[in-house]
Chains A and B, each alone.
Chain A
Amino acid sequence: MEIWIEKYRPVKLSDIYGQDEVVSRLESFVKEKQLPHLIFAGPAGVGKTSAAIALTRELLGENWRDSFLELNASDERGIDIIRENVKEFARIKPFNDLGLRIIFLDEADQLTSDAQAALRRTMERFSATTRFIFSCNYSTQIIPPIQSRAVVMRFHQLSDDDLKSYLKFVISKENMTLDEDALDAICEVSSGDARKATSILQTLKYSGEKSPKAIFEMSGNLEPADFEKIVKLAMEGLFDEAVDLIEKLTVDRGYSAIDLIKGMHSFIRRQRIGQKQKLAIIEALAEAEFRLVEGGSDRVQLDALMAKLSWIGQELN
């Protein structure tokens, strides 16, 4: 078994779908054998990581792996760990003609501005032989001093046409047959995210399903039924049971409060309930998420949310 998002990850820059402008600029860096620091800005699943890997491969040749370091800002907690990793990596002599190392810092927008400022020093220290590629959703989340030292590349959300031609490529490689309706359905539920679309495709192959209905259901099942249960319990006024279930999900299964709110949100959007009630619930979810981001704790904020949902369920019909 292979994971298709890796199996069909573009190898060359020219294999990347739907990012012609970015690709041609990156190719010119390869041609000139020169590389500035880069910022890759754009939504998830449009080719930022693929572009970084392909660029490195084309620029540094066969030994590219030894000179490429991939770091995740949201996982490698703390700037210290990132700095340590960078320092460690910078000690290795780059084995390629250009004498370059490339550090790909994924989700760089997850770093606080203080951490980014600290990273800037590290960047300068190793800049003779090391290039950074920062990946983020919006370039504005990267502090100006780093932005000014880097070239910003904007990746666009994949159009349905681009996504479809990529999917068709995978389908032919895998000897699958899929109706145009099914392709449309995949495009609709994955909204330009090739990673999500590829995962759906692989699930279809393994499960033998291929109807649009199955695809919509699958996307509906992206969240476990538990989210639905939480909302339903709370709306029926069963506060204690809802809170117990939440505790089970957070404590035993390790979901964060934001995970749960996100799941409830996508459940409630698809529910056929009164418009007023729907709005009130979405507002309550938004407020809870806002408060969590502001510094509230998972426990208290989810309990408060459950109290609100059970009131909405009983008062607003």
Chain B
Amino acid sequence: MKGLFWNDFYRPKSLDDTLMANDIRIKIKGWVESWQRGEVTKNALILWGDPGLGKTTTAFAIANELEVPVIEMNASDLRDRQSIKNIAGLASIYMDLFSIEKKGCSKVILMDEADNINDSRSKNGSSDTGGMNELLNVIRNTRNPVIITMNDYYGFRRKSGGSDIINNSLSIEFKLYNRRRDIDYNENVRKLRTNIIKIVEENGFRISQNDVSVIIERNFPDIRGIINDVQSIAINSNSSMMENLAEGQRDSATSIFEIMKEIFRGRNYEKIFELLRDKDFDTSDLVLWIDNNLPMEAEDPLDLVNAYEILSTADIYLGRVIKKQHFRYKVYAEDISAGVFNGISTVNKKFVKYEFPSMIMSMSRSKGSRSARKNALKKIGKITHTSSKGATDLLWFYSAIASTSKENKIELMELIGLDEKEMEIITG
């Protein structure tokens, strides 16, 4: 994998995994569904917006949702009348031999960076004479979905034929969020952070969560830029760049302690809300922080029960955000978890040093044993025709057989194909 641009394999496969504002996702899905149902109102989709947001990635994700390949023409291809006609035009009209009876479409035609089509009046040598008109023809006659991406929407409209193309298309300004720090913003930053850390690890490098956060903060929403920065830092371990930004990290660390203090000791709901407005971490982090420090602040058993009752409710709403795809639940999750002090009647007076949630550290530590267990269950399931879940129910059996004698243990390992570590997990 070395030597590749990480950007090239950071290509989410589905629309749900591709980062974008939720209202935009809904619009795009609507267009995709119109092709799936065969009730198309607009043949072409224009995605326009700043570079690096994921417009091309989205186009590929759309093709993936439709289960068809992409015929792509971008700025590096000559895009005059004849070549557009030859490539995109033919692709747009003819369905595949084998998919005639199928509803929908057989491919997606992607006209990438369409604002760079140099039509007749261009001054430089490479000219795409007649390209705009041919693109319009393609859109009008196509039997396959056409996706057009561009940065400069208004410039494109001024081109000859530009406004006709726009009128025959569904135009969407591609955004990752509508306002800074709104739900889409936070959600996408969070997803991006998780994905980036995964990419870095998959490439055998390490990068601290904080470094990733800082890089995202500086570049968001330019995902391509973020990944390029991360790649260069991870590979060169060029820390001088990060040092300049260290102040920001310390800043966010103080604020969570401050919030913990206000939640447990201040007990002023309005004040907590005010502090939370400027928070620089996700609601799920807040819940984990409270969870980690609650036992120290609620020493009375009944207080602990009551406080956990509140936190547990908040936690459920947080889970429902993803489960029900309803992002407003997150606001409730935050507000409810901030009210956890209401469950504590005896306020702790002793000094408490708020601790960083151990979860975040232990989860990465446990990755090895988790995957060993998962592999072991999969292997058992494979030979006994059960799911991992089914295999879990009979785990006691393998453990019991293994404990009868060393020979049996080894035989069992060979039979299932377990390695030492996997066997150890089973026998406990």
- B27-35, B243-251, B365-373: which one contacts chain A? B365-373
Question: Is there contact, CB below 8 Å, between B396 and A222?
Answer: yes
Chain B residues near A207 (CB-CB < 8 A)? 400, 404
Chain A residues near B13 (CB-CB < 8 A)? 80
User: Separation in Å of the A58 CB from the closest CB of chain B?
Assistant: 17
Chain A residues near B397 (CB-CB < 8 A)? 199-200, 202-203
Question: Is there contact, CB below 8 Å, between B428 and A300?
Answer: no
For the complex, is B374 an interface residue (Cβ under 8 Å from A)?
Answer: yes
Question: Is there contact, CB below 8 Å, between B400 and A300?
Answer: no
Question: Is there contact, CB below 8 Å, between B362 and A308?
Answer: no
Question: Is there contact, CB below 8 Å, between A254 and B366?
Answer: yes
CA–CA, A202 to B408, complex, Å? 12
For the complex, is B268 an interface residue (Cβ under 8 Å from A)?
Answer: no
The answer to whether residues A237 and B362 also contact, given A75-B381, A295-B323, A299-B288 and a CB cut-off of 8 A, is: no
Chain A residues near B315 (CB-CB < 8 A)? 291, 296-297, 300-301
Question: Is there contact, CB below 8 Å, between B319 and A311?
Answer: no
CA–CA, A137 to B366, complex, Å? 33
CA–CA, A254 to B415, complex, Å? 23
For the complex, is A239 an interface residue (Cβ under 8 Å from B)?
Answer: yes
CA–CA, A224 to B425, complex, Å? 12
Bitwise, B85-98 to A at CB < 8 A (1) or not (0) is 00000000000000
Question: Is there contact, CB below 8 Å, between A253 and B428?
Answer: yes
Of chain B, the residue at the smallest CB distance from A221 is B396
Question: Is there contact, CB below 8 Å, between B295 and A300?
Answer: no
The answer to whether residues A304 and B322 also contact, given A247-B358, A253-B369 and a CB cut-off of 8 A, is: no
Question: Is there contact, CB below 8 Å, between A304 and B309?
Answer: yes
For the complex, is B412 an interface residue (Cβ under 8 Å from A)?
Answer: yes
For the complex, is A218 an interface residue (Cβ under 8 Å from B)?
Answer: yes
For the complex, is B235 an interface residue (Cβ under 8 Å from A)?
Answer: no
Bitwise, B390-402 to A at CB < 8 A (1) or not (0) is 1011101100110
The answer to whether residues A5 and B384 also contact, given A206-B401, A218-B400 and a CB cut-off of 8 A, is: yes
For the complex, is A195 an interface residue (Cβ under 8 Å from B)?
Answer: yes
User: Separation in Å of the B271 CB from the closest CB of chain A?
Assistant: 24
For the complex, is B301 an interface residue (Cβ under 8 Å from A)?
Answer: yes
B316: contacting residue among A200, A223, A295, A308, CB under 8 A: A295
For the complex, is A307 an interface residue (Cβ under 8 Å from B)?
Answer: yes
Question: Is there contact, CB below 8 Å, between A240 and B415?
Answer: no
Question: Is there contact, CB below 8 Å, between A237 and B396?
Answer: no
User: Separation in Å of the A252 CB from the closest CB of chain B?
Assistant: 5
For the complex, is A74 an interface residue (Cβ under 8 Å from B)?
Answer: yes
A206: contacting residue among B362, B408, B425, CB under 8 A: B408
Question: Is there contact, CB below 8 Å, between B359 and A299?
Answer: yes
Chain B residues near A15 (CB-CB < 8 A)? none
For the complex, is A315 an interface residue (Cβ under 8 Å from B)?
Answer: yes
CA–CA, A2 to B383, complex, Å? 10
CA–CA, A243 to B359, complex, Å? 12
B404: contacting residue among A200, A206, A222, A253, CB under 8 A: A206
Question: Is there contact, CB below 8 Å, between A53 and B316?
Answer: no
For the complex, is A97 an interface residue (Cβ under 8 Å from B)?
Answer: no
Size of B's binding interface in residues, CB under 8 A: 61
For the complex, is B388 an interface residue (Cβ under 8 Å from A)?
Answer: yes
Bitwise, B121-165 to A at CB < 8 A (1) or not (0) is 000000000000000000000000000000000000000000000
B319: contacting residue among A44, A53, A107, A297, CB under 8 A: A297
Chain A residues near B324 (CB-CB < 8 A)? 295
For the complex, is A196 an interface residue (Cβ under 8 Å from B)?
Answer: yes
CA–CA, A203 to B408, complex, Å? 11
Chain A residues near B305 (CB-CB < 8 A)? 304, 307-308, 311
Question: Is there contact, CB below 8 Å, between B318 and A44?
Answer: no
CA–CA, A223 to B389, complex, Å? 15
User: Separation in Å of the B330 CB from the closest CB of chain A?
Assistant: 12
Question: Is there contact, CB below 8 Å, between A237 and B301?
Answer: yes
Bitwise, A67-82 to B at CB < 8 A (1) or not (0) is 0001011110000100
For the complex, is B411 an interface residue (Cβ under 8 Å from A)?
Answer: yes
Chain A residues near B177 (CB-CB < 8 A)? none
A252: contacting residue among B366, B390, B400, CB under 8 A: B366
A253: contacting residue among B307, B320, B373, CB under 8 A: B373
CA–CA, A315 to B386, complex, Å? 43
Would you list which residues of chain B between 234 and 276 have a CB under 8 Å from chain A? none
CA–CA, A251 to B384, complex, Å? 27
Chain B residues near A53 (CB-CB < 8 A)? 385
Chain A residues near B394 (CB-CB < 8 A)? 195-196, 199
Question: Is there contact, CB below 8 Å, between B301 and A315?
Answer: yes
User: Separation in Å of the A90 CB from the closest CB of chain B?
Assistant: 13
Chain A residues near B383 (CB-CB < 8 A)? 3, 6
User: Separation in Å of the B403 CB from the closest CB of chain A?
Assistant: 8
User: Separation in Å of the B364 CB from the closest CB of chain A?
Assistant: 10
Chain A residues near B288 (CB-CB < 8 A)? 299-300
The answer to whether residues A251 and B304 also contact, given A221-B396, A296-B312 and a CB cut-off of 8 A, is: no
The answer to whether residues A294 and B319 also contact, given A75-B378, A75-B387, A254-B370 and a CB cut-off of 8 A, is: yes
User: Separation in Å of the B127 CB from the closest CB of chain A?
Assistant: 43
For the complex, is B172 an interface residue (Cβ under 8 Å from A)?
Answer: no
Would you list which residues of chain A between 194 and 236 have a CB under 8 Å from chain B? 195-196, 199-200, 202-203, 206-207, 218, 221-224, 226
Most B CB within 10 A of own CB, among A107, A203, A223: A203
Chain A residues near B222 (CB-CB < 8 A)? none
CA–CA, A2 to B415, complex, Å? 8
Most B CB within 10 A of own CB, among A223, A296, A300, A310: A300
CA–CA, A73 to B389, complex, Å? 11
Question: Is there contact, CB below 8 Å, between A304 and B308?
Answer: yes
CA–CA, A46 to B301, complex, Å? 46
Of chain B, the residue at the smallest CB distance from A72 is B387
Q: Which 5 interchain pairs have the tightest Cβ spacing?
A: A295-B319, A254-B373, A304-B308, A251-B366, A300-B315
